[in-house]
């Protein structure tokens, strides 16, 4: 205990100054290792931010040259994309991109979430440790392999089931299905992490009230992890929109304004790949159109990420 004879201020001064007793020295000490790590972390964060700024700057600079010749309204609302005759309407490329992404979500979201629920709620630790790495192997397969898988397996399968007159050789349906297979591991892994983070006490409370395992999983665990699941879905949508090689190989090689998934149509990323391989003169309108499409894709993914953050903040559950 501190004495009451007026010496308390002296002791407090000793604690603050640390001059009389080294054991009472509470001043921050210089630690070289921690300071180096601190600087390296700041440097890494700065590199990531500056890289993003640099990409946006280059996209914006070249896209500005494009929009100095083509109006923004024509770019957003015109239904033809044919650079040879000066038509630069993004709608044919946008509809194909949205179709493939929508089909991919129809495949990936239910399968990915179902597998996540199984791994989190039903599988034993041994089974989970065995199945999860196998599931994530799908994410390591090169996307060009997926593209040829869509062209040589999925398209013939759809043509045999639905008819060759309905399903053309190049179509957005087969590309969308295979993109969905590609992103299943992403949906499953992120959703399983969100489900596993739900406290065990919620499950036990549900069981104590007489709920079955499936009722607990669907009505308790999934709603409690909805913010993480929603974030997984939106990240997967962004991945589907940005997919390149599958759509470049299997979806088609020409802009086509159609809502029929069994007809060929070129997506935004597929178009960038195709015309980038041609003889484009620097600073031509065709060359600058690549950056306009890229900037448009950037704003789509940025909007999805902002929306994802709002959902996470809105539905985040905090447990103690």
Which CATH number is correct for 74-315, 3.90.650.10, 1.20.1250.20, 1.10.3720.10, 1.10.10.10? 1.10.3720.10
Domain boundaries, the chain: 1-30, 74-315
Which pLDDT score, from 0 to 100, does residue 1 have? 44
Neighbours of 81 (CB within 10 A): 23
10-residue stretch averages of pLDDT, the chain, 320 residues long:
49 50 60 86 94 90 88 88 85 93 94 92 86 81 92 93 90 94 91 89 90 90 88 89 91 88 92 78 81 91 84 66
pLDDT at 92: 92
The pLDDT, as a whole number, for residue 126 is 87
So what's the pLDDT on residue 96?
93
pLDDT at residue 2, rounded to an integer = 46
Q: Give pLDDT, residue 282.
A: 73
Q: How are beta strands 87-88 and 81-82 bridged, if at all?
A: antiparallel
The model's pTM is: 0.82
Q: In the numeric block, which tokens belong to residue 122?
A: 């039903």
Task: Let me know: does 109 contact 187? Beta carbons within 8 Å.
Answer: yes
């Amino acid at each position: 205990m501190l004495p009451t004879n007026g010496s308390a201020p002296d002791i407090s001064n000793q604690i603050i100054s640390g001059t009389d007793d080294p054991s009472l020295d509470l001043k921050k000490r210089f630690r070289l290792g921690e300071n180096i790590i601190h600087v390296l972390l700041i440097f890494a964060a700065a590199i990531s931010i500056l890289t993003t700024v640099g990409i946006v700057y280059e996209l914006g600079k070249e896209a500005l040259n494009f929009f100095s010749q083509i109006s923004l309204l024509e770019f957003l609302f015109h239904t033809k994309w044919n650079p040879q005759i000066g038509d630069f309407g993004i709608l044919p490329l946008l509809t194909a991109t949205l179709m493939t992404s929508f089909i991919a979500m129809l495949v990936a979201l239910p399968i990915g979430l179902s597998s996540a629920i199984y791994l989190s709620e039903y599988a034993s630790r041994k089974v989970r440790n065995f199945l999860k790495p196998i599931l994530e192997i799908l994410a390591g397969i090169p996307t060009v392999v997926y593209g040829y898988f869509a062209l040589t397996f999925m398209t013939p399968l759809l043509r045999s089931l639905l008819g060759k007159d309905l399903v053309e050789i190049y179509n957005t349906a087969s590309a969308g299905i295979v993109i969905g297979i590609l992103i299943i591991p992403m949906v499953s892994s992120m959703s399983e992490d969100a489900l596993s983070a739900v406290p065990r006490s919620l499950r036990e409370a549900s069981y104590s009230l007489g709920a079955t395992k499936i009722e607990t999983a669907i009505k308790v665990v999934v709603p409690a992890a909805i913010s993480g699941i929603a974030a997984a879905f939106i990240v997967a949508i962004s991945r589907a929109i940005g997919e390149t090689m599958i759509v470049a190989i299997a979806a088609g090689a020409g802009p086509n304004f159609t809502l029929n998934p069994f007809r060929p149509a070129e997506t935004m990323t597929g178009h960038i790949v195709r015309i980038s391989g041609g003889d484009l003169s620097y600073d031509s309108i065709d060359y600058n159109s690549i950056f306009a499409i890229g900037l448009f894709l950037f704003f789509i993914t940025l909007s999805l990420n902002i929306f994802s953050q709002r959902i996470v903040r809105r539905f985040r559950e905090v447990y103690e």
